[in-house]
Structure 1
Amino acid sequence: MIKYSIRRQMTAIFIGLFSLILGLVLIINNAFLGHYYLSHKADDLIRTYNDVNAKLESGSLSDSDSVRDILTQLERANVDLVVVDGGGNAILTTLGESDPRLKEMFSGLFGMEGVDHENILKRNEDYTIYRDKSSQVQRDVEYLKMWGRFMDGSWFIMQCPYASITESASLANRFLIYLGCIGMVIGGLLVWMFSRSITRPIMELAGLSQEMANLNFDTKYTRGGMDEIGVLGNNFNKMSEKLERTVSELKQANNQLQKDIEQKEKIEDMRNEFLGNVSHELKTPIALIQGYAEGLKEGISEDPESREFYCDVIIDEAAKMNVMVKNLLTLNQLEFGSDEVQFERFDIVRLVKGVIVSCEILVQQAGAKISFISDESICVWADEFKTEQVVRNYLTNAIHHVGNEKRIEVRIENGDGKVRITVFNSGTPIPEEDIPKLWDKFYKVDKAHTREYGGNGIGLSIVKAIMESFHQKYGVENFDNGVAFWFELDAKA
C-alpha cells in the first residue's frame, strides 16, 4: 500500500498551481484592469483626434466620402464628436440636432475650468483627456472626454462612454472563477489519467525491485519504451541478469567452500582416527617384538628351539605390521582419490580362477573345500587390479572364517547388464548389529580369532573404498549355515 501516491501528488500540484495562477490573475485584474481600460480608451480618442486632424489639414472634410468614413470610424469606436469653428458654428458632429447630448457637449467646450484636476488623465497644448461623471443626460453613464483644438484652429470635444471599472472587473473575475473551476476539474481529470501512464510502469518497477530483493530474478520489465522509465526498466532487466549470474556464482563458490570445509574436517577426523587406530593396532605386535627381542638379548632360554620360536614370533609380528602398513597406504590412496581408476574390459571368470589358485595353500591349511560356479567366460568393465584386490579380500576373509562343514563357494552370475560375484563360507552368521560396522577400518567381529591369522580389520574397508570408486553395489548376507559377501560390476560399456 503506497502512502504518498505520485498520481495524487501530481494532481494536487496541478490543482494548487492552477489555483495560484487563478488567484494571481484575480489580484492583477482588481489592481490594474481599471488603469488598462482607461489607457486603452484614451488611446482610442487620441487615434481619432489624429485622423480627424489630418483630414482637416488636407481639407478633405469637404468631400462627403471622407466625412462618411470619419463618421463610420467614430460610430464603430462608439465615440461622439463635435467640431466648431472660431465663430461657434458646428463644422462636424456625430450627433443629431435633437440629441440632448449635443447641447451638453457644446457646454463642455466652454466649461473646462470646472474640471477637477484629479480626473485629468493627460494634458498638452493641443488637447486634454479627462473623466467626467457629471452627465445630466445619462446619469448612470460615465464618460471619458477629450477637449482641445485642431491644427486649423477649430475646437472640438469628443467623448466615449465606458462601463464602471469596478463592475467590469467584478464580472471578469467572476467569469475567471467559473472558467478556472471548470479548468481545474477537467485538468485534474486529465492529469489523473495521464499520470496513470507514468505510475503504472513505476509500480511495475517497484514490484520488480521487490522480487529482486527476494532473490527472484525471473520477473522482467515488459512495458518497454524509449523514455526515461523505459531506459530504467531495461537497466533493471540487465541488473537482474547480472545479479542472477553473480548470486549463482556465489552459491557455487559457497558450495565449493562448504565442500572444502567438509573435506578438511573429514581429513582431520580421518587423520585422528587413523593415528588412533594405527597406534592401537601396532601396540600389540610392537610389545611382542620388544618382549621377545629382550628375552633373546638376556638369554632367557638357551634352548635352540625356544630361540627359534622367539625369532619366528618376531618375524611373524613384523610381517603382520608390514601387511597392515601396506593395506593402510592402499586404503589411504583410495579414500583420498589419489589412486586413479583405470576402466578396461577383462574376463572376470579368468581373474577369479587365478585368485582361487593363488589361495589354494591357504584353503588346504584351513581344511576347507572350495567350489567355483560360473560360465566359461564373462567380460566386465572395471579396474582389473583393484577388482582382484576385492576378490582376494573376500576369499581370504572366507578362508579365515570358514567353519562347520568347511565349505567355500564362489559364484558368478550374469543378468541385465550386471555381473554379481558372491563368495560364501560356511560358519557362524555375523550378528545383525555388527553388519553395518563391518566396512569400518579396524573393526573386528571376533577379535581373538582375527588375531590368530593376523587380520587387522582393513580388508573390508579397502573393498568399500574400491567399490565406491567404481560406483557399484556391494554387501553381505547372512544365511543359517554361513555368510556370503558380494559385489557387482557392469557387463556393458
Structure 2
Amino acid sequence: MKISIRYKLLIYMTVNIFIFALLLYGSNIFFAEKYYMSNKKSNLIETGKKISKLIAEKSPSYELDDSNLIYEIESVEKEIGGTIYVGTLDGELYYPLKNKPTPPTIEADKGSPFFKYDNNFNFPFKSNLEPPEKPEPAIKNWERYDKNSFFIVMRDPQYKIETLRYQTHLDNGLELLIWITMTGISENATISNNLTAIVGGITIIITVIWALFVSSRFTRPISEMNRITKKISELDFSQTLQVKKNDEIGELSYSINQLSYNLDNAIRELNIKNRYLEEDIEHERKLDKMRQQFISDVSHELKTPIFLIQGYADGLKANVATDEYKRNFYCDVIMEETEKMNMLIKDLLDLSKMQSGFFSVNKTNFNVSFLIKSIVSKYDYIFKEKNICMKVAVEEELIGEADPIRIEQIIVNFMNNAIEHIDDKKIIKLSINLKGNKIRVSVFNSGLPIPEESIDKIWSSFYKIDKARTRIIGGTGLGLSIVRAIQEAHKCAYGVENLYDGVEFWFEIDLAKKI
C-alpha cells in the first residue's frame, strides 16, 4: 500500500508529540512527588541554617526574649508556610513561647514536638539510626541528613494528613524543628499530572491539525514537482513550477525549471539537426540516384555512336563497301556520330563547370533585339528547308544586362528544341516582352503539350519525354539542364507553359539601368 509523504509526515509528528506527552505524564507520576519532596527538604535545610544563624547572632543563651529575633522567626514561618520549634529534648520550648499547637507525634513522645535521641544520636525506639522493623503507624519514613540532622515523614491518624519534619541539633545545645504539611506536595503532583494529561491531549489534537497544515504546505510543492517531472518525462515542457520560496525547495523548483528549459532547447535543437540531417541524407540519396542515372544516361548516349562508329569502321576495314558511294556513306556516318559525341562531351563539360561552382557569367549591357534578329537570321536556311513559319515579335532597342554569349546559348537551345518538337502546323514564334525591370524572351512552337508529370523533370540532365523520337532526331538531353544552370547563375527566372495550341519556353534577364 502506497502512503504519501504528507501522511507519513503527519504520522511522524503525531507519534513524536504523543511519546513526548506520555513521557511527561509518566515523569510527573513517578518523579514529580519525589522532586517536590527533594526540593522541600532543601528548603527546610536552608531554613534551618538561616534560623540557626539568627539565634547564634542575637541570643547566645537559651532565652529567646529578643523581640526582633522572634519577629524574624515568625516571618520565616510565614515565608515557608510551616511551623518552627526551638527547645530542648526534654520538652522545654523557647519558641514559640505559648499557645502554639504541637505537630502530630508518636505516643512515646506525646506532649513534646521533638524526637528524643541519646548522646550518640540514637533514637530510643531503635539504635544504629534504623527505623524499627514494625514502626508505629504514625511514622511513614525517616532519613538521616547528617550527624546532627534528620527528616521524618509522619501521618496524623486523626486528620489524615502527612507532615515532613526536619529536626537538627544547634551548636548552643538547642533543638530546632521545622515541619510542614505534605498536603500541598501531593496535591501539586496530582494537579500537575492532571494538567499534563489535559495539556498533552490538547497538544496532540493541535499537533494533528498543525501537522495536516504543515504537511500540506510542505508536500504541495513536492506533488507539483512530481507532476511537472512526469510531464518532462513525457517530453512536455509547456509547464513550469512557480518558485515562491527562497529555500531548498525553491532552489529545487528553479533547478527543475532550468532542467526543463535546457532539455526543451536541447531536444528542439536536436530535432532541427535531425531534420537537417534527414534532408542531407535525402539530398545525398537524390544525388547518388542522379549520379547513377547520369552514368547510365551518359553510357546510353555514348553506347550508340560508339557502336555505330565501330561497326562502320570494321566495315571499311573489311572492304564491305565495294564502291566509292558506300565508302563515303560509311565515312559520313562515322563523322556524324563523332560530331554527336563531341557535342555531348562539350555539353557535359559546360554543365559540369556550371554545377561545380567555378562557372561565372560576364554581365554586360547589350542590345537584346539585335541579338535575337542575328540568331533568327542564322536559322533562315533551316526554316526554308523544313517549311517552318517563323514569327518574330521584337521591340526595338531593348538593352539587357547579362552575359550575351550565354543568353545566345539559351536561345539556340530553345530554338533547336522547338524545331525538334514542332508539329504539322510548323509554327515557331519568338517574342520579347518588357515586364517591369525584366526582359522576358519566349520561344513558342506548335505541337503536343508536355505531360504535367514531366514539367519539372525536363530541366534535369538527360531527361527525355520520348527517348525513341529524340534518338532519331538527335539531341543529348542536356540543353535544358544548361539553360537552368545559366539562369541560376544570372539569378533570373525561367520556365515552360503548355498553351492551347503548343508549348512556350521562356526566360528573363535584367533590364539595363539607364545612365
**Of the candidates 333, 350, 357, which is equivalent to residue 338 of structure 1?**
357
1:252-291: CA deviation from partner (whole Å, max 9, x where unpaired): 4323322332232122211221222222222221111011
Q: How many residues align?
A: 487
Checking the alignment, whether the CA contact within 8 Å between 1:100 and 1:137 is kept in structure 2 is no
User: Partners of 1:137 and 1:72 in 2: how far apart?
Assistant: 29
**Of the candidates 147, 160, 173, which is equivalent to residue 125 of structure 1?**
147
Aligned partner of 1:323 in structure 2 is 343
Checking the alignment, whether the CA contact within 8 Å between 1:359 and 1:396 is kept in structure 2 is no
Checking the alignment, whether the CA contact within 8 Å between 1:374 and 1:411 is kept in structure 2 is yes
User: Partners of 1:26 and 1:462 in 2: how far apart?
Assistant: 104
Deviation of 1:324 after TM superposition, in Å, equals: 1.9
Deviation of 1:151 after TM superposition, in Å, equals: 1.6
Q: 1:93 aligned to 2:91?
A: no
**Of the candidates 317, 321, 325, which is equivalent to residue 301 of structure 1?**
321
Aligned partner of 1:390 in structure 2 is 410
Q: How does 1:62-81 map to 2 (within 5 A)?
A: 62-81=65-84
Aligned partner of 1:175 in structure 2 is 195
Q: 1:477 aligned to 2:493?
A: no
Q: How does 1:446-485 map to 2 (within 5 A)?
A: 446-447=466-467, 449-464=469-484, 470=491, 472-480=493-501, 482-485=502-505
Q: What letter corresponds to residue 23 of structure 2 in structure 1?
A: L
- TM-score, structure 2 normalization: 0.81
User: Partners of 1:204 and 1:308 in 2: how far apart?
Assistant: 95
Distance 1:380 1:7, change over 3 A: farther
Distance 1:220 1:376, change over 3 A: farther
Q: What letter corresponds to residue 474 of structure 2 in structure 1?
A: G
Q: What letter corresponds to residue 305 of structure 2 in structure 1?
A: P
Aligned partner of 1:59 in structure 2 is 58
Q: What letter corresponds to residue 159 of structure 2 in structure 1?
A: Q
Q: 1:375 aligned to 2:395?
A: yes
Moved more, 80-89 or 274-283: 80-89
Deviation of 1:355 after TM superposition, in Å, equals: 4.0
1:15-51: CA deviation from partner (whole Å, max 9, x where unpaired): 2211121122222223322321211111121112111
**Of the candidates 263, 285, 288, which is equivalent to residue 305 of structure 2?**
285
Structure 2: gaps (5+ residues): 117-122, 133-139
- TM-score, structure 1 normalization: 0.84
Partner of 1:279, secondary structure, is helix
User: Partners of 1:162 and 1:350 in 2: how far apart?
Assistant: 138
User: Partners of 1:385 and 1:70 in 2: how far apart?
Assistant: 139
CA RMSD of aligned residues (A): 3.6
Moved more, 43-52 or 120-129: 120-129
More helix per residue:
1
Q: 1:230 aligned to 2:276?
A: no
Deviation of 1:65 after TM superposition, in Å, equals: 2.6
Q: What letter corresponds to residue 22 of structure 1 in structure 2?
A: A
User: Partners of 2:278 and 2:437 in 1: how far apart?
Assistant: 37
User: Partners of 1:412 and 1:94 in 2: how far apart?
Assistant: 150
Partner of 2:95, secondary structure, is strand
Moved more, 78-87 or 265-274: 78-87
Deviation of 1:217 after TM superposition, in Å, equals: 4.8
Deviation of 1:477 after TM superposition, in Å, equals: 1.0
Distance 1:468 1:186, change over 3 A: farther
**Of the candidates 395, 419, 426, which is equivalent to residue 399 of structure 1?**
419
Moved more, 343-352 or 181-190: 343-352
1:365-388: CA deviation from partner (whole Å, max 9, x where unpaired): 434242221333456676665544
1:417-443: CA deviation from partner (whole Å, max 9, x where unpaired): 554432112345556676565445434
Q: What letter corresponds to residue 153 of structure 1 in structure 2?
A: G
1:269-316: CA deviation from partner (whole Å, max 9, x where unpaired): 112212222222222211110111001111112423322221111111
Identity of aligned residues (%): 31
